[in-house]
A = this chain, B = another copy of it.
Amino acid sequence: MGWGDLGAFGEPSKETPNLDQMAAEGMLFLDFYTASPLCSPSRAALLTGRLPVRNGFYTTNGHARNAYTPQDVVGGIPDSELLLPELLKKAGYTNKIIGKWHLGHQPQFHPLRHGFDEWLGSPNCHFGPYDSRERPNIPVYRDWEMIGRYYEDFKIDLKTGEANLTQLYLQEALDFISKQQASQQPFFLYWAIDATHAPVYASKQFLGTSQRGLYGDAVREIDDSVGKILKHLQQLGISENTFVFFTSDNGAALISAPKQGGSNGPFLCGKQTTFEGGMREPAIAWWPGHIPAGGVSHQLGSVMDLFSTSLSLAGLQPPSDRQIDGIDLLPVILQGKLIDRPIFYYRGNELMAARAGLYKAHYWTWSNSWEEHSKGIDFCPGQSVAGVTTHTQEEHTNLPLLFHLGRDPGEKYPLSFASEEYQQAVEHISGLVQQHKATLVPGQPQLNVCDQAVMNWSPPGCEKLGKCLKAPESDPKKCSWPH
């Protein structure tokens, strides 16, 4: 989902009354970022509070390449990483993930081995259907074991876009919350629904209800579900004791537009890029009785801050034996403070850009290669800014491209290198970057090796279902990451 997909963020169809209401009752973040322009690294960052380059969710197979966890990837979240649910356990929290995990699908990466107590969802994206020979369909897990596979047992109709998964995930969320309330046990719910990820889907009752087509139907169903979850918290009388945050893991995937792609509002490009359209996210904090209604914040925020903020809410300290990139947003949320901190825009192993205040400096620019572009893969459809949306990787380390995101949110007008404004801003940002790089200890890259043998052939529980498939011979290779 992109920054521009909610009514509160200016989507012209304005079809998200529940999320808009959530913002009206809570705090809207206008300058909130993901830690990577695509899914797996972004989610790993959210749960570890650390940049993907630290927690291993990147590749060194190529320079500045986007990598994630397809079925044949060998890596996943390392045991050495401390995930938010692992830490929350110490404070008595029950932790549940509903939906897409995406931090690796081999047994050692299972979410219940990394702090979660319960799971309903899948380890990978819901691509498919597959033929079970070249590639198995993605399993859906309940806790430790699979309970079926997408397309086989969990239908997604690619023709109509119909799938009832969001309803399934909604019901699971409501039940979990009820159970926790009944037992008076604190909980952390990571509701990681994925209806707006291609192939986009919606339940029958939402199909055709949006002005925006199937993508809008999916957004409407998510909006409706968020409304039901918030209402449930209120009806159970625990809304003033439950902190809720809504955000996304990357900008709208414009390659899937117009049928399956969303909106990044006035920003440049989309998912896969380190322009604002790829990494600035819709974000809303909600906590009635604590967050003043109708708040708006320009705090530079990050999904990684949800790690630190959640720990703070639970009265826990962040780990002191490692670098945590997230910050505690409670002073921002509860007292309206603004914390000075930069945003780093990584693409794979490269720091492409950095933002401090309203200035953003690009050290590298790249949309995608000419080769990919000529195949019709376009991360910036209808947009082209000379020297900015480049189709070769352009280095600007010595003379970064500088934008003022207040005057120029669309990153169209680089500041003159000769201006005093440029010199002051670049000096400041480059100082922060230098400091960051000097202390950076990159993690072991997890997304380098792919092997057809590691695919979801025989996930735990497959025997009971008669759904075990025979894995092919192991044939480890470098994963191919063209973007």
Instruction: Flag whether A296 is at the interface (Cβ < 8 A).
Output: yes
Residues of B within 8 A of A216 (CB): 406-407
A400 to chain B, nearest CB (A): 18
Instruction: Flag whether A337 is at the interface (Cβ < 8 A).
Output: no
> Is A213 within 8 A of B404, CB to CB?
yes
11 contacts between A and B (CB under 8 A): A4-B265, A11-B266, A12-B409, A13-B30, A210-B406, A211-B407, A216-B406, A257-B408, A258-B413, A382-B412, A383-B384
Q: Which of B10, B258, B296, B298 contacts A407 (CB 8 A)?
A: B258
> Is B382 within 8 A of A265, CB to CB?
no
Residues of B within 8 A of A382 (CB): 268, 383-385, 410, 412
A191 to chain B, nearest CB (A): 25
The CA of A205 and the CA of B298, in the complex, are separated in Å by: 22
CB-CB under 8 A for A408 and B258, given A9-B10, A268-B382, A382-B384 = yes
The CA of A480 and the CA of B263, in the complex, are separated in Å by: 39
CB-CB under 8 A for A413 and B13, given A212-B407, A216-B406, A383-B382 = no
A359 to chain B, nearest CB (A): 11
CB-CB under 8 A for A381 and B4, given A212-B407, A266-B10, A296-B14 = no
The 3 closest A-B pairs by CB, nearest first: A10-B10, A211-B406, A213-B407
Which single residue of chain B is at the shortest CB-CB distance from A4?
A: B266
Residues of B within 8 A of A212 (CB): 406-407
Residues of B within 8 A of A30 (CB): 12-14
Instruction: Flag whether A259 is at the interface (Cβ < 8 A).
Output: yes
A residues 354-393 near B (Cβ < 8 Å) are 358, 381-385
A200 to chain B, nearest CB (A): 12
> Is A12 within 8 A of B407, CB to CB?
no
Encoded as 1 (CB less than 8 Å from any B CB) or 0, chain A from 404 to 429 comes to 11111110110000000000000000
Residues of B within 8 A of A358 (CB): 211
Encoded as 1 (CB less than 8 Å from any B CB) or 0, chain A from 3 to 19 comes to 01001011111100000
The CA of A213 and the CA of B404, in the complex, are separated in Å by: 9
Residues of B within 8 A of A7 (CB): 296
> Is A412 within 8 A of B258, CB to CB?
yes
A residues 46-102 near B (Cβ < 8 Å) are none
The CA of A172 and the CA of B14, in the complex, are separated in Å by: 36
Which single residue of chain B is at the shortest CB-CB distance from A412?
A: B382
The CA of A266 and the CA of B4, in the complex, are separated in Å by: 8
> Is A4 within 8 A of B10, CB to CB?
yes
Encoded as 1 (CB less than 8 Å from any B CB) or 0, chain A from 181 to 225 comes to 000000000000000000000000000001111011000000000
Encoded as 1 (CB less than 8 Å from any B CB) or 0, chain A from 278 to 316 comes to 000000000000000000101000000000000000000
